[in-house]
Amino acid sequence: MATDNSALWMVAAFVGAVIAIPVLGSTFGGPPTTVTNLATGTEPVDISKTQSIQKRLAKAADIDGARVIGADSEPENWLAHGRTYGEQRYSPLNKITDANVQDLGLAWTFNTETTRGLESSPIVVDGVMFATGSWSVVFALDAKTGEQLWVYDPEVPREWGRKPCCDVVNRGVAVWMGRVYVGTLDGRLVALDAKTGKPVWDINTIDRTKPYSVTGAPRIVKGKVIIGNGGAELGVRGYITAYDAGTGKQLWRFYTVPGDPRAPLDAENQHLKAAIPTWKANAEGWKYWEIGGGGTVWDSMAYDPDLDLLYFGTGNGSPWSRYLRSPGGGDNLYLSSIIAIKPDSGEMAWHFQETPGDTWDFTATQHIILADLQIDGQARKVLMHAPKNGFFYVLDRETGKFISGKNYVPVTWAKGLDANGRPIEDPASSYRDQPKMVQPSPHGAHNWQPMAYNPQTRLVYIPVQLTPYLFPLDKKREVKLGVWNTGLDLNLIATMTAAALAAGQPMPPAEGFIVAWDPINQKEAWRAKHSTFWNGGMLTTAGNLVFQGAGDGGLRAWKADSGEEVWKIDTKTGIIAPPVTYAIDGEQYIVVSAGWGGVGVTLVPEPANAIMKYGNAGKIFAFKLGGQKTIDVPEITRPPMVKPPELTASAAVIAKGAAAYNRYCLVCHGIFAMSGGVVPDLRYSTPEVFARYTEIVIDGELKENGMASFADHLNEDDARAIQAYIVQMANAAYAAEQKPAEPEKPN
């Protein structure tokens, strides 16, 4: 799920209820016949009368399984989430190469009118681009000019922003047989007419009484739309579901963890017979089935049409800590696992658990890549995976058998992998009795940002971060559905961090890299360091290039074989999304969504983060050879801090407020109320906001802006105590701001 501001990196990052700007400044009950081009601000375009656009849109959505399987025969298009079913994120296009990439420049910009994280991987086919923005809004654009063709807003209730783990993001759509499919933040699956953006059907995929959310891109296999969900920390049970692409009818549902072990299993979930004995609740812990158990399938999937197997990764347990979730021990199947199923029936073919009994939030939902490799002189059909836990796995994708694995970052929780790929846990990492610093952190050595595989170099390019994390067990064993249940004492983390900072103790820095990994020999080939830790996903091409955006706003290209940086443009907007590439009229484009967010929202902004100088106006950028060399964005100047209210509360009230803040607010607004720059920094609130904490926190006065009520967990006294704690933090920040800058020392 975390500054160079040192110890603050130890905080679990989470995005949920926040004060936010509504998407597009309005809502759409369905796309109007006339829409405005947000990219250029030009006069409205009447799409009902533009037959050529209608024909292009109809052709662009004419995708089926045969076309995706044969994607290499039309490299000018990006037909599926990872371009192909194998999700390599490799393009055979080579008009842009390591020899001419220095001539790459801006072709067009589309303004999404959002200020939250953008994680979309666009689908681009026959000159039309389908992409998503914050709050699950869908855009259809002319891929050559950036002109908006239509927009669809699913009108997600803004108070739902409290429920997702990591910002109000969406990772993209799927396109199939004339329709565009999107999973919405509030748990729906919507099929849109590709010509108009008008909904064809809109179905609910979740139990709406529970805190589920959907941020992942759907995949479509054999006419079935496959979608999972998130929400493990808040108390849900993970599953993945297939729906008929034509009708929206549910075809099967695969649960990843057991429910109540006393209840009979239905026919399509017989795989849970083997899982139930691996969950060992007892009087010391919680009944896992009453808090969901976790194991949500919130991101990656891949499909092998020859083997007819669909692969997906499962998430962490609910809570993170197995010492509370399953104190009697056990592997807790099928948490933190890769699972292969038959897409026609949802029947499990095999599973491989990467982190048995996970207690660190080491999800296995990170990007999955399928490839054929020569290993020990033998052709192997493999699945490659670099999950949060820090080990790179190569598995036989037909059987699930472990082939090889090695840590691609420093790892302290395990000493290595045994001959079967099972981690050898280091007992010194146990935090059952006392807090322990562990690497990787819940941010993971690799998070959701997709990696890429280049079959020419035979290297996998992984977006990596190093973020140590302090794990203290929650001795109170508190569980509250609908808010984070990590099993960790977040208040103790904040207290220990504050003490360390006050004592001047240095903390391990957090860092971000690209690691180019040789999966055959399980070793690093090269790496490139970033100025920020939280960066974007990967793209690699036949032009011997690797592309990645970063939190500092830079979009860069490296030689895929050597790691030499050969191009950079400053977009002045932090990037976490992966680029894609396509071609129109023989001209190759690189496109990326730019809008910083995700779990980084909760962080104290790093000095190098573009959001500090330029804000966070979300955009989609397209680049081509001969394009504009610079991107002009005015710098922002934050006005001087308004003097906060006088601190009058007692120490006891402030302590109560700190504890409540760390339990309910920290995961959104950051440790010590120091936000990461996307959600509001509460210390800089206006006097009017400081005076209305009860109305905002309890009554939900700002729910339409994304700040939901917490009346289900807090009362008016709690709200006043939280206000007192924020006032204390605000006065400290104000005092620091008033302090004159130290004069520069002479050379």
∠ at Cα 163 (548, 123), nearest 5°? Answer: 35
Query: What whole-number distance in Å separates Cα of residue 555 and Cα of residue 212?
Result: 33
- Across-strand partners of 589? 582
253: exposed, middle or buried (Cβ count in 10 Å: 0-12, 13-18, 19+):
middle
Looking at residue 263, the DSSP 8-state letter turns out to be S
Active site (annotated) includes residue 207: no
What phi-psi label fits residue 114: left (phi over 0), alpha (psi between -120 and 50 degrees) or beta? beta
Q: Which two tokens stand for residue 554?
A: 């830079």
If DSSP codes are grouped into helix, strand and coil, which group holds residue 656? helix
User: Do 404 and 531 contact (CB within 8 A), yes or no?
Assistant: no
Place of tokens 């190759």: 588
Cα–Cα distance, 284 to 140 (Å, whole number): 53
Cβ neighbours of residue 589 closer than 8 Å, sequence gap 6 or more: 107, 143, 581, 582, 583, 622, 623, 624
Neighbour tally for 398: CB within 10 Å: 17
Beta strands in 554-594 (DSSP E): 554-559, 565-570, 580-584, 587-594
Q: Decide if 579 contacts 621 (C-beta within 8 A).
A: no
Contact of 128 with 178, CB cutoff 8 Å: no
Q: Do the beta carbons of residue 252 and residue 345 sit within 8 Å?
A: yes
From 98, 142, 153, 361, active-site residue: 361
638: nearest Cα among 671, 675, 663: 675
H or E stretch including 663? helix 651-664
514's CB contacts (< 8 A; 6+ apart) are 461, 462, 463, 464, 527, 528, 530, 538, 546, 548, 558, 563
- Distance in angstroms (rounded) separating the CA atoms of residues 159 and 641: 28
Peptide bond into 442 cis (omega under 30): no
| Terminal Cα distance for the chain, rounded | 44
Q: What is the DSSP string of 14-68?
A: ---S---PPGGGS--SS--SEE--TTT----EEGGG-HHHHHHHHHHT---HHHH
CA-based nearest residue to 343, from 243, 428, 426? 243
What's the rounded Cα separation, in Å, for the pair 716 and 320? Answer: 30
Dist CA 726 CA 540 (whole Å)? 45
372-375 long-range Cβ contacts below 8 angstroms, 24+ apart: 373/458, 373/519, 373/520, 374/520, 375/403, 375/404, 375/520
Amino acid at 714: L
Cβ proximity of 579 and 587 under 8 Å: no
Give the span between the Cα atoms of 435 and 500, in whole angstroms: 14
Q: Which residues are catalytic?
A: 361
